[in-house]
Amino acid sequence: MKKIKLAVIFGGESSEYPVSLHSTGSFLHSIHASKYDIVCIGITREGKWYTYNGDIASIEDDTWWQHESCEEVTLSSSKAYKGFLKLKKDGSYELIEVDCIFPILHGKNGEDGTIQGLFELIGIPYVGCGHMSSSICMDKEMTHIVCENANIVCSPYLCVYQQPKMDYNALFEHAKQELGLPIFIKPANAGSSFGISKIQTLEEFIQGLEDAFLHDGKGKVILEKTIEGFEIGCSIMGNQTLTVGSVDEVETSAAFFDYQGKYEMLNSCIHCPARISKELIKEAQEIAQKVYRALNCKGLARIDMFVTPKEEIILNEVNTIPGFTATSRYPSMMKEVGVSFADLIDALIAFALEN
């Protein structure tokens, strides 16, 4: 059987660069390597693209870009050359043809539809949501607009655009009146809880806005009402026919499930399946599927929600390239319904090749 030529892209010019390296290491350890002819493409923090043919440990400890196997590469922009162009020092190039691309890129330029648009331009199948769906899911305001229009319950919010002169006092008073206190401040376009804060005072509000604008990069911030309760998630994969994973539960003693909680399990733990009734699990799975369809997702996504003390389920956000280690939430929820990590990778590649 002919092997699939699979390009695995990792790293990226994003604050979530370390998350990508960790996910990629676990991915490469777990994949059914005998089924694929794997080409690793690394993107540095500065945005330089290289082929990489070294060991997995060097990816995980972020020394991969120093490896002797690294050669500069660029993505072709022509359907006549479906793959990557390895650039030679004499000005010539070598075409690296691929059948499918698996982007393990979190955050800016990797999860927001930017790189997905490039893949579509040259007609190479790739794992995950399309460029429009990725862009909408990444932008928390657009996610609110689309999902609320589809009658999916979301937390009340306000959108704030960065201006040269901002009246922080007026903004704070308006937000207090509309959303109450405390308020969550979030970059509209960021992940892994970067730039998120939970605020009570004007001083915290100003600092929170500045941090969120810094991580957003597009001058847009979301203010959300604090939802009493706890967070759950549901993993989904598929195109026309969907496979719905289990529902997990986030338990945290921190103010919210922040970066340290997500990736170091500091003051946090995950329960899979969630410690809720079977009826509530079923309802969460149905809402997750409705969100997936409303946002035109394909391939995979993790839908994060809140459960209130009255057992109302409220949408939090959608992750189109969730954490991808063997113990990450997305693979763990799929494992709970009988899909191993290696088989999950195979299935996601197969979904990409369907289109």
155 to 30, 92, 296, 348: CA distances (angstroms)? 37, 54, 21, 31
- Residue 121 confidence (pLDDT) above 70: yes
Each domain of the chain, given as residue ranges in start order, spans 4-126, 137-153+228-354, 157-225
Quickly state the pLDDT bin for 252 (edges 50, 70, 90). Answer: confident
The 8 Å CB, 24+ separation contacts for 333-336 are 333/233, 333/234, 333/235, 333/245, 333/246, 333/247, 333/248, 333/272, 333/302, 334/235, 334/237, 334/243, 334/245, 334/246, 336/245, 336/246, 336/272, 336/273
Domain 4-126: CATH architecture, name and number where available: 3-Layer(aba) Sandwich (3.40)
pTM: 0.93
**What confidence tens digit (pLDDT) does each residue in 11-69 have?**
999 888 999 999 999 999 999 999 999 999 999 999 999 999 999 999 999 999 999 99
Omega before residue 182 within 30° of 0, cis: yes
Mean pLDDT of 185-198: 82
Query: Topology of domain 157-225, per CATH?
Result: Dna Ligase; domain 1 (3.30.1490)
**Per-residue pLDDT band at 266 (split at 50, 70, 90):** low
Percent of the residues in the chain that have a pLDDT greater than 90, as a whole number: 83
Average pLDDT, the chain: 93
Domains 4-126 and 137-153+228-354 share a fold: no
pLDDT band at residue 191 under the 50/70/90 scheme:
low
> Which class does domain 137-153+228-354 fall in?
alpha beta
Q: Report how many helices (DSSP H) and strands (DSSP E) the chain contains, helices first.
A: 11, 16
- Give the pLDDT confidence score for residue 259 in this predicted structure: 44
Alpha-carbon 289 to chain mean position: 17
- Which pair of tokens denotes residue 42? 């690394």
* pLDDT at residue 253 tops 90: no
For tokens 């995979």, the residue is 300
The pLDDT value recorded for residue 257 is: 45
Q: Which DSSP letter does residue 88 get?
A: P
Q: How many CB atoms are closer than 10 A to CB 252? A: 18
In this structure, of 104-113, 232-241, 274-283, the range with the lowest mean pLDDT score is 104-113
Q: How far apart are CA 322 and CA 191, in angstroms?
A: 9
Q: With H, G, I as helix, E, B as strand and everything else as coil, classify residue 157.
A: strand
304-329 tens-digit pLDDT: 999 999 999 999 999 999 999 888 99
What pLDDT score does 36 carry? Answer: 98
With b meaning 16 or more CB within 10 Å and e meaning fewer, what string describes 2-24? eebbbbbbbbbbbbbbbbbbbbb
